């Protein structure tokens, strides 16, 4: 089983993440940030990666550290669970429609972290959640997961839909990328011999 656990403890947050890449999208996420939990649930359900996340953060300051550090820990867990990456598809992409919104995500589990972010939100907040934290989460995930990640809002005017479509699109792309490719079950998906 491709499973991993990560514990990240700082003066600002305490994060515990458990994932199973070969799961069915079962989730139990509790970060203390309601909208963020909803997005993490979408990430799990649509990637079919089982996730259990517990976060204690300095929410009296704001949600920033909790969101960013959770992204870091999930990225680190992905790296551990993927191991040597032999037999994975490596690449994934998705065009995700959600009502007024369409978001495109494409990613490469390349060990070359890079985020291309072309997503604008029409509002600064979704409820009490700062929309700028969506980018912070994906930046942390890409950096610590070794992911080349491109996310583009093609259109949309509802901030909730834009954020949710981004999480779902990345989830679907991630599902594709971590899957086993039976045609190359024991080979690394690279001509370099390393990822």
Q: What is the pLDDT of residues 83-102, one digit of tens each?
A: 999 999 999 999 999 999 99
DSSP assignments along 141-154, one per residue: HHHHHT-EEEEEEE
> Do residues 171 and 46 make contact, with C-beta atoms less than 8 angstroms apart?
yes
> Do residues 43 and 73 make contact, with C-beta atoms less than 8 angstroms apart?
no
pTM of the model: 0.96
> Order of strands across the sheet with 91-98?
91-98, 101-108, 148-155, 114-118
- pLDDT level of residue 193 (50, 70, 90 thresholds): confident
Q: 6 φ, ψ to 5°?
A: -135, 135
- pLDDT level of residue 191 (50, 70, 90 thresholds): confident
Q: How much is the pLDDT for 189? A: 87
Q: How many residues does the chain have?
A: 195
- pLDDT level of residue 190 (50, 70, 90 thresholds): confident
Q: What is the pLDDT of residues 126-162, one digit of tens each?
A: 999 999 999 999 999 999 999 999 999 999 999 999 9
Q: What is the pLDDT of residues 62-80, one digit of tens each?
A: 999 999 999 999 999 999 9
Q: What is the pLDDT of residues 17-53, one digit of tens each?
A: 999 999 999 999 999 999 999 999 999 999 999 999 9
Mean pLDDT along residues 166-194 = 92
Q: Are strands 148-155 and 101-108 parallel, antiparallel or unpaired?
A: antiparallel
Q: What is the CATH number of domain 3-184?
A: 3.30.230.40
Domain extent listing, the chain: 3-184
Count of beta carbons in the 10 Å neighbourhood of residue 160: 20
- The single-letter DSSP state of residue 111 is S
Q: How much is the pLDDT for 188? A: 87
């Amino acid at each position: 089983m491709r499973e991993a656990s990560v514990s990240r403890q700082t003066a600002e947050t305490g994060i515990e993440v458990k994932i199973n890449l070969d799961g069915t999208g079962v989730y139990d996420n509790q970060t203390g940030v309601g909208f963020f939990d909803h997005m993490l649930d979408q990430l799990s359900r649509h990637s079919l990666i089982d996730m259990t996340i517990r976060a204690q953060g300095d929410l009296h300051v704001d949600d920033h550290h909790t969101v960013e550090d959770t992204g870091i820990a999930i990225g680190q867990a992905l790296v551990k669970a993927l191991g040597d990456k032999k037999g994975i598809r490596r690449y994934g992409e998705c065009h995700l429609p959600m009502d007024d919104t369409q978001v495109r995500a494409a990613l490469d589990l390349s060990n070359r972290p890079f985020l291309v972010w072309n997503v604008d939100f029409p509002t600064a907040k979704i409820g009490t959640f700062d929309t700028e934290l969506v980018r912070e989460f994906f930046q942390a995930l890409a950096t610590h997961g070794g992911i080349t990640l491109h996310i583009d809002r093609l259109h949309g005017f509802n901030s909730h839909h834009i954020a949710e479509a981004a999480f779902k699109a990345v989830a679907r792309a991630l599902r594709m990328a971590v899957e086993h490719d039976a045609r190359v079950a024991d080979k690394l998906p690279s001509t370099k011999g390393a990822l």
